[in-house]
Structure 1
């Protein structure tokens, strides 16, 4: 995976992503249905009664699918539009079976296209409702054909088909849910630091982009803060890396306790942490960090902090991060446990 590959949203609606990703596939399923119906009509022939009506209905259904694919029919969170497609699909298949007397034939399996489509995107409940609708349509077809579903052959056929639809729908929905869980776990692994549970460097860089873009549009400030522990090497050398990890965890908890809900916090690597404070200028960030280092820490290691702010210190996030990192090293070289602002103009111990 390239370092330029963007992370997916860290808070996302997996169902919405699934629907958006399946839009093209849905139209292909609909066109496959039309192709199977057209192939049947070519090989078997149109029925003597209502044949032209069936051709018109098939053309209209294809036109509906084609128009939807060209008009970007699906927007965000519009699951009901996909549900409409599946219900129209069920209606079209029922009309086709009615006109071809196919309720007892192999074309009953066309309903599987609607079941699988629903299971892939709409979930178990919607799929069960559609299977119930298919069962009702099947009973109606038996009635319109003048037969009885209660004969041994028809009852076996009806029960076998409905059970097959239920099994396919349930297993497909379960598979999709398992994929959603796996995607969530992979996303967490890709975006969270394994030791602290904070965002990692890649996730932080990805999340900063929309905040920076919004600040550029509104010309509102934000501050970048780099925090580094002063004595981690001493702890690792004297007490071991386990103690060093505990010191990093302790600092991570302190930073989480002091940040606001709108602030971003990440472990940027080793003992270095980075924060982004929206709607906060350099003085506001400095005051916030001064409160952090003023807290009595006991045996906890001291920290050095550097601050840079948009737009005061630069117009690009990458430059601000470099400036904040440089200010942090100024704090460290000045004795540590202090806050420095870009340009080394202000430093506090």
Structure 2
């Protein structure tokens, strides 16, 4: 992944994302199934009785797949769509096998396509239920083809095939669950600061960018805040880096507690933190930061704060971050533990 690649949404659900991605692939699985059916009919030949109905049914199943891929109704119902596709796949395979040589021929393993599709998208519980449905269809076809389940040979043949379906579905579902867990861990590592568990710099900008664009579109005010600790080096030198880490965590905790539900806060690096305050003008931002500094006066190390607001101090996020950064350095130059509004210093606490 390059530096310019955006991260997935921070509230991204790997399982939901996986379902959305696989929806575009399920049609390819169905077309593969249709291709195998056509290949069998061309190479082996259609049965003398009902051969035309098999051809028409295969064509109908292919048209169903094409139609389902175009329906807008399922745009927000991907799981339902995949469930319907999987059930239709089982139905088509059962009907096709019933029209040829049943499950005892080379096409009996087609059920594995439905099992794997379910395991990849619908989870282990749904796959277990699907394997039960396939078992019923399989036993029906086995009996219809003249198989004897009461014989040792028939019992071993049917039982071994059903076990293959069950084991394949289980192992695939377990593998998918492990991948989802790994994706969640990787997403956390990519978006969270290890020390404070806040969003990191990259996640902050990825999250702020669409909110910033929306605010510009509707001309809604917002404020950008840069916060820097005044005495972190002193704390590290006097008390050790463990005390410095504790101070950073204390500031991070205070920022998380003081922010509103829609505000974004992140550790941008070192002892620097950033905040994005949607729908917040100059007065609102300063009032909020007054409360922050009053709390920090008793509980936290000294901090310097710089604020820039749209539209007074610019439009682009880069420009506003630069103005807020300059205001923060002005606060430091004035002795620290102050809020400076870009272009208009205001002392809140000294």
Which range, TM-score by smaller chain?
over 0.9
1:174-253 equivalences in 2 (<5 Å):
174-253=174-253
Please report how far the alpha carbon of residue 258 of structure 1 lies from its aligned counterpart in structure 2 after TM superposition: 1.2
C-alpha offsets along residues 175-216 of structure 1, whole Å, 9 cap, x if unaligned?
Answer: 000000000000000000000000000000000012112212
Q: Distance in 2 between matches of 1:215 and 1:77?
A: 30
1:67 and 2:67 equivalent? yes
User: Could you state the TM-score of these two structures normalised by the residue count of structure 2?
Assistant: 0.95
Q: Distance in 2 between matches of 1:74 and 1:19?
A: 12
Q: Which residue of 1 aligns with 2:169?
A: 169
Q: Which moved more, 1:36-45 or 1:211-220?
A: 211-220
Query: What's the RMSD between the two structures over aligned residues?
Result: 1.8
C-alpha offsets along residues 71-105 of structure 1, whole Å, 9 cap, x if unaligned?
Answer: 57852342111111111111111011101122222
SS state at 1:6 partner: coil
SS state at 1:243 partner: helix
Q: Which residue of 2 aligns with 1:153?
A: 153
Structure 1 gap segments, 5+ residues each: none
Contact 1:74–1:82, Cα closer than 8 Å, also in 2: no
Please report how far the alpha carbon of residue 299 of structure 1 lies from its aligned counterpart in structure 2 after TM superposition: 7.7
Contact 2:224–2:276, Cα closer than 8 Å, also in 1: yes
User: Could you state the TM-score of these two structures normalised by the residue count of structure 1?
Assistant: 0.95
Q: Which residue of 2 aligns with 1:318?
A: 318
1:305 and 2:305 equivalent? yes
1:120-131 equivalences in 2 (<5 Å):
120-131=120-131
1:1-349 equivalences in 2 (<5 Å):
1-69=1-69, 74-295=74-295, 297-298=297-298, 300-349=300-349
SS state at 1:330 partner: helix
C-alpha offsets along residues 12-65 of structure 1, whole Å, 9 cap, x if unaligned?
Answer: 222221122112321221121112111111121110000011011111112222
Q: Distance in 2 between matches of 1:345 and 1:199?
A: 28
Please report how far the alpha carbon of residue 141 of structure 1 lies from its aligned counterpart in structure 2 after TM superposition: 1.8
C-alpha offsets along residues 235-274 of structure 1, whole Å, 9 cap, x if unaligned?
Answer: 2222222221111111111111211122111000100001
